[in-house]
Structure 1
Amino acid sequence: MWVLGDGTSAPIPADAAALIDGGPRFLTDAFRRFGSLPPTNEVTAITECVEVVGGSTGRKLTLTVAYRRPGPQTELFVKFSRDPTDPARDHGRTQMAPEVAFATLSTRPGFPITVPTTMFADYQRESGTGILVTERITFGRNGIEPQHVKCADYDMDDQLGHYRALFTAVARLAAADRAGAITHDLGGDAPAVGDRPNLDADRLHRRLDRLTEFASDHPGLLPANVRTASFLSGLHDHLPRLLAAEARVSRELGAHPELVALCHWNANVDNAWFWRDADGTLRCGLLDWGGVGPMNVAMAVWGAMSGAETAMWDDHLPELCAAFGDEFVRSGGGSLDVDRMIRHVLLYASVMGMTWLLDVPAHVRSAVPGLSAATTRMDAAIRDVESVRCRLQMLTNVLNLWETHGLGQMLDSLET
């Protein structure tokens, strides 16, 4: 299937079959229209095409191409907004609209951070059909670290250094936006995980009952501090209050424009590539810009750290937020209140946890047969299944934030 892209007013393929059918002729025309290929060069062949499994929306490919003259990127990554074989994945097709706009923005001279070189990007808003073609990052080659896996930081050396690199990149982009160094029309609604579940106090209590049972039956899957009877029973009081205060949280997150800027919504380690400068400083580029737009930087911090080890939150959250603030100032964004930023992170993470993560115990029980009291997150049934490993780690982080920072106290301060 082909549609006319809004940006180039030219036909764009909706899927891999259409792209392959269009072949080198389509790629040549698309790259020339986008400005990534001069009129004196052309794509002469697609020498390799491999489908990539994964992600939450759209189909993906890796391509290797040949040109008449050397120079442009030959190893490419292709992302489609659509997945005609999976309605759930296809439902997220509109996430590519801001991603295409951002990819176009990133081609401007002086763009403040490192992102994959865009060869072509276009989107048709009417149908939600889009395509993004970028350079393919050569993980594990040319000085680039192997790709890191989300929610498996226990396998990553220098965890703090990696999060410093992520925070530096996110802060640099946010500062450039606040300073007016980049102009864009990205905006609209804040990014969302999906269709928000209907929540009320009764449903919260049922989910908390299941969480309490899960913590008792499987103590190896949650830290001791979030398994105590006093903490879990207290959530029955606190979370209905948080649900009632959700609109106030949203108002507070939007009431401080100095903390709202263009950000990556999910700058976790799996959406980045890392290398070291000559002096040994760890640097990163950022991938996968679905949902990009202006947002409270607290949303970006949660996106970057949601899958981190719990100790990273306990030991380094203030340090990382201070590093964010320092880079924000250095990059021209002006000063920001780091304490307020941390408060916003805690409030936003709390709402996200209440809304999206309290069903994790049911998911883990369903996905992992044979759970026992001795099961830990390092067991293969947990560690090797991304949906289980990631959801469990994110739930653990939210529960730990509620316990260590005092959810009740957060709510008291919100209500006064």
Structure 2
Amino acid sequence: MNDPDRVVGDRSALPFPVSVEALREAGADFLTAAFRWTGALAQDNRVTAITGFTEFFGGGMGRKVSLSVAYARDDPGLHTHLFVKFTRDFGDPLRELFGPLMEPEVRFALLSRRSGFPVAVPTCYFADYHAATTTGILITERIEYGENGIEPRHDKCLDHELGNPVEHYRALTKAMARLAAYHKAGNFGLETQQAFPFDAQHIDPGSRIPYTPEQLQAKLAKLLDFVAQAPQLFPEHLRNGGFLNQFVNEAPFVLEHELAIRAALNESADHIALCHWNMNLDNAWFWRDARGELQAGLLDWGSVAQMNVAQAFYGMTCAAEAGFLHAHRRDLLALFVDEYRRGGGPAIDLDELAQLVRLSVAVLGIAWILDAPALIEREIGAIRAIEGRHDPALRNNFLARAQLQLLVVFLSEWQDDQIGAALREFARRAPEDRQASAAQPV
């Protein structure tokens, strides 16, 4: 059976194109109907022509297009320069993995059109999803990096090239707190619970640590061998002084107590809010307001959900520089606590939030980051020939660079924040009925 070039959206009931080629063929008529459905375009206005159409590559979700259009009438607020994102093409081996991530992003994009939305996001012109084929499309305003006061785009895992990233992370922290507080204050009404339901008793099987105890031990052994083969890729504080052996001894504790850790994160009601999960610098844009204060808008809302804000904080900082986090983590957490309360969220304790961040780093890091050595070797090959973290061969390979940075930050956080000790304290305090073993993957 031939793959379709259009599917009918579950929300709009409009047939929408599933690929770059299908969008070009659908043309101005489809865009007119789509933009009218969301309310981005008045019913008596229309898209008259596509004036620019350029596919570009970046990120892992799917194919993307820089789109320019003309309207019959240039109403105030209409953007002519747009961004289009698709799920991966039919037949792509990664489609099954990445396709479902776009469904919550579509829900969020449509939610963001409401008046008074608390954070800056690209204006949504159309978004829809077809669950039966895991197919999505997102059309938004295009952020013009490097123009009209907007900073040039900051790439992932290159924070060391920024002169002073403190302002950027403060802006991101405030944006995260504003969205979470807006939700906790009830300003979304029932929309958030309907669009992003949360059940504290449910632990998503898909997010579980995907290893048996034996598989975890193999991952840890691979990590030790990788550091021994390429010590130049790791700061001295990680490769010397016995830390790695300590980490290898402590890491299995996370697998053993995974369910209890995830339950603790889920059950901390004051900390559960609507959050952007992957708020690295590359998923934002920055500008200065009239007072000269740096502000942040947020992009790429794949996997947006209600979650513990500590998990979102780790998602925001997981690609930062380890030395930066050592110096500024506590201040950023304190800033979140203050902004969260100021925006209408509950008063939360700074030390409690810091402990929840430790738990988040532990369980998410073990679940997602221990494959980094194998992925880096696959991308680079002769890792001994790489001179260091900033070697051009590593810097210019996005996947290898990102995996190494995430691994270094994860290990540094484990050491610097004494996560092993925090886990032991957690186990000591946790009720016995929550110390269920999670040793076998779902």
TM band (smaller chain): over 0.9
1:89–1:152 CA distance, 2 compared to 1 (3 A): farther
| Contact 1:191–1:292, Cα closer than 8 Å, also in 2 | no
Where do residues 82-93 of structure 1 align in structure 2 (5 Å cutoff)? Answer: 82-93=88-99
1:167 to 166, 173, 181: 173
Q: Rate the CA distance shift 1:200–1:132 in 2: closer, same or farther, 3 A.
A: same
2:279 is aligned with 1:264: no
Give TM-score scaled by structure 2 length.
Answer: 0.90
Q: Determine if the alignment matches structure 1 residue 37 to structure 2 residue 41.
A: yes
Mapped partners of 1:195, 1:336: distance in 2: 26
Check whether the contact 2:386–2:393 (CA below 8 A) recurs between aligned residues.
Answer: no
Partner of 1:210: 222
Distance 1:84 1:94, change over 3 A: same
**Percentage identity across paired residues of the two chains:** 42
Unaligned runs of 5+ in 2: 429-442
1:126 shift after superposition = 2.4
What CA deviation, in whole Å up to 9, does each residue of 1:53-91 have, x standing for no partner? Answer: 122222211101111122311100011134224221343
Matches within 5 A, 1:258-407: 258-372=270-384, 375-407=387-419
| Contact 1:176/1:182, CA 8 A, preserved across alignment | yes
TM-score w.r.t. length of structure 1: 0.95
AA in 2 matched with 1:53: F
The alignment yields a C-alpha RMSD, in angstroms, of 1.9
Greater mean alpha carbon deviation, residues 242-251 or residues 84-93 = 84-93
Change (3 A) 1:106 1:160: same
| Corresponding residue number in structure 1 for 2:73 | 69
Distance in 2 separating the partners of 1:108 and 1:299: 26
Kindly state the Cα deviation for residue 35 of structure 1 after the two structures are TM-superposed.
0.7
The corresponding residue for 2:139 is: 133
The equivalent residue for 1:250 is 262
**Is the 1:58–1:90 contact (alpha carbons within 8 Å) kept by the matching residues of 2?**
no
Mean alpha-carbon deviation: is it higher for 346-355 or for 283-292?
346-355
Contact 2:289/2:295 (<8 A) preserved: yes
1:112 aligns with 2:121: no
- Which SS does the other structure have where 1:214 is aligned? helix
CA deviation map 1:87-143 (0-9, x unaligned) = 213432122221111111111111111000011112222222221110000000010
Segment of structure 1 superposing worse, 186-195 or 103-112: 186-195
Q: Offset at 1:195?
A: 7.2
> Which of residues 93, 104, 107 is equivalent to 1:98?
104
CA distance in 2, matches of 1:225, 1:392: 16
Counterpart of 1:187 (choices 154, 179, 196) is 196
Write the deviation string for residues 274-321 of structure 1: whole angstroms up to 9, x where unpaired.
001122100010001111110000111111111001112111111001
Residue 14 of structure 1: aligned partner: 18
Q: Which amino acid in the other structure matches residue 148 of structure 1? A: H
Other structure's SS at 2:94 match: helix
Q: Distance in 2 between matches of 1:188 and 1:330?
A: 25
List per-residue Cα deviations over 1:195-242 (Å, max 9, x = no partner). Answer: 766312222222222222222232221111111362222223211111
Deviation string 1:26-47 (CA, Å, 9 cap, x unpaired) is 1111111111111222111111
